Amino acid sequence: MQRLSREGGRRVCSAAMGNDDKRTKDIQERLLAWYAIEARDLPWRNTRDPYAILVSEIMLQQTRVETVLGYYDRFLGRFPTFDALAASSLDDVLKSWEGLGYYRRARNLRRAAQIVVDEHGGQLPLTVSKLRSLPGIGPYTAGAIASIAFNLDEPVLDGNVVRVLARLRRISGDPSRAATRKRLLREAQSLLPRSQASHFNQALMDLGARVCLPRSPRCHACPVVNECDAHYAGEEIAYPGKPARKRVPHIDVVAGIVWSTEPFAPGSRLLIAKRREADMLGGLWEFPGGRVEDGETLEQALARELREELSIDTDVLELLLQVKHAYTHFRMTMHAYHCRHIGGEPRAIECADWAWTTITDLDAYALSTADRKIVAALRKV
């Protein structure tokens, strides 16, 4: 009752003021005042260096802040400038990115640094359209860099901002659909206070991350509660609309832990392969193998894959472990088998490179999360 009567008052008050501008101004002032006190202390907020802000924004794509905190300073220590990143080897960059996932981001970031150095004199371009021409920079990242690094009047729409805006104005519909997105973008644009985009956009992001939570919004702690249409209607959770659920396919994959002689025998080495750059997880090293085809046993699939990928013959021995892993568009179960190399000098046929190594020396190679689980299992034996 208390909530309704207070908000009833707000509605009357807004009506009396007679315009949306008053509401907009109110939201701007309340959010900026809240952000001045409540802003999260994040390392990329203590710099105006566009390169460092770019690195943070690329790392934050599809990755939680808490995870990025474990990588950001180390990456900048290793590659402190566009020049340093542009001159680096892809192997070094992937090794620094190891475990962060979505490795295409690391390849694109390095390529973007090379373009910035070669074509823009080492400075990030100052317009959204030029930022978007760089690899790995889509509309969201371009808007975030333009507003956060350069304080340009550019709106941003990430998952947190979408949730806040959809609730504030009761914007229904699936936000991944163009029409809904357009409405949300219009809303973000109309709320943006001139020359304060850097703080305002980050305030919206923080509000979504810490207060306007997906399942249990903390409306009692929200600085814009009196301007929130979804809260007024008691329908916070109904916004934003949910995208139609798609069935995520599952595949079985086999991986060979190929020993030069017997598993774990003194002097026996392990064969690893490097993925081709254009492939998924390109540039990473792995225990070779591939997808199981219809009608094959796991052992048959592995022997075939090792022949096709590296031109070697193997005896497939016992299973070491199974790893389940979810990617954006599919889930997989990887079955990792010990194998004995019995013939054929390895050749890089369906991979970029190969190497004989040892369990200890595997640390020198950038491996995917699934392959690092195999290494951990080998070290436990």
Interface with ligand SF4 by CB under 6 A: which residues? 164, 167-168, 211-212, 217, 219, 222, 224-225, 228, 230-231, 236
Nearer to ligand SF4, 29 or 279 (CB): 29
Nearer to ligand SF4, 27 or 323 (CB): 27
Distance CA 84, CA 34 (A): 38
Nearer to ligand SF4, 61 or 226 (CB): 226
Nearest-approach distance from CB 223 to ligand SF4, in angstroms: 8
Beta bridge partners of 340: 259, 315
- Residue 266: DSSP 8-state: T
The torsion angle over the Cα atoms of residues 369, 370, 372 and 378, rounded to 10 degrees, is 160
Cβ 262 vs Cβ 197: under 8 Å: no
Q: Helix, strand, or coil here: 63?
A: coil
Cβ 312 vs Cβ 325: under 8 Å: no
Q: Which of these, 68, 65, 42, lies nearest to 148 by C-alpha position? A: 42
Distance CA 371, CA 150 (A): 40
Nearest-approach distance from CB 206 to ligand SF4, in angstroms: 12
Distance CA 257, CA 343 (A): 15
Q: Which of these, 244, 376, 250, 256, lies nearest to 305 by C-alpha position? A: 256
What angle, rounded to 10 degrees, do the helices at 50-60 and 139-150 form? 150
Nearest-approach distance from CB 69 to ligand SF4, in angstroms: 24
The catalytic residue among 7, 57, 98, 309 is: 57
Count CB atoms within 10 A of the CB of residue 325: 14
Nearest-approach distance from CB 65 to ligand SF4, in angstroms: 19
Give yes or no: 296 in active site.
Answer: no
- Return the beta strands (E) in the chain as ranges: 250-259, 270-274, 285-286, 289-291, 313-326, 331-343, 353-357
Nearest-approach distance from CB 208 to ligand SF4, in angstroms: 8
Beta bridge partners of 323: 334
Nearer to ligand SF4, 170 or 307 (CB): 170
Longest dimension (CA), the chain: 86
Q: Which of these, 119, 121, 128, lies nearest to 156 by C-alpha position? A: 128
Nearer to ligand SF4, 149 or 224 (CB): 224
- Based on its alpha-carbon atoms, the radius of gyration of the chain, rounded to whole angstroms, reads 26
Q: The tokens of 318 are what? A: 């016992």
Nearer to ligand SF4, 129 or 216 (CB): 216
Alpha-carbon separation of residue 97 from 91, 157, 210, 367 (angstroms): 10, 25, 27, 10
Give the active site residues: 57
